[in-house]
Amino acid sequence: MNLEKVMFGFFIVLALTLNFGFFIGDFDSPDHHNVYELYAAIVVSLIATILKFGDRTQIGAILLATSLVADLQLIAAAIVWGYAEHVSPTGLDSFYLGSIVSLSGGAMLANLTSVVLLLIETVNLRL
């Protein structure tokens, strides 16, 4: 068993599951979307991106691209959250939370694409 591949797969799947955990819940209820879970999703997604830099294959390039998309959307969600909490006169209302959850959903779709590509690559190695 290759420990490097285990860690690579671990962080890709963990990025997806953390993102899913943040995304799921009532769309406009702040009680269902924890800022620390968003933070954890960002950190794990960035780690997964760093791990993808070593792959020089075409599928590696696509994996890196999907990871960069997820990072960008999660960071944008964090910026919107920070703006809503510290700058906006209305605070974290349903408008801002809807944007945050939507951005997280886009990142989740990018992470899901990464997992599917990883599974396809794994199946092709066995054949």
Return mean pLDDT, the chain: 91
Report residue 8 as tokens: 């690579």
Kindly state the tokens that stand for 99: 């944007």
Q: What is the tens place of the pLDDT at every residue in 26-67?
A: 877 777 888 999 999 999 999 999 998 877 888 889 999 999
Residue 123 is predicted with a pLDDT of: 87
pTM over 0.85: yes
- Kindly report, residue by residue over 66-124, the tens digit of the pLDDT: 999 999 999 999 999 999 999 999 999 989 999 999 999 999 999 999 999 999 988 88
Q: Which residues contact 75 (CB under 8 A, 6 or more apart)?
A: 42
Please tell me the distance from the alpha carbon of residue 90 to that of residue 72, in angstroms, as a whole number.
Answer: 25
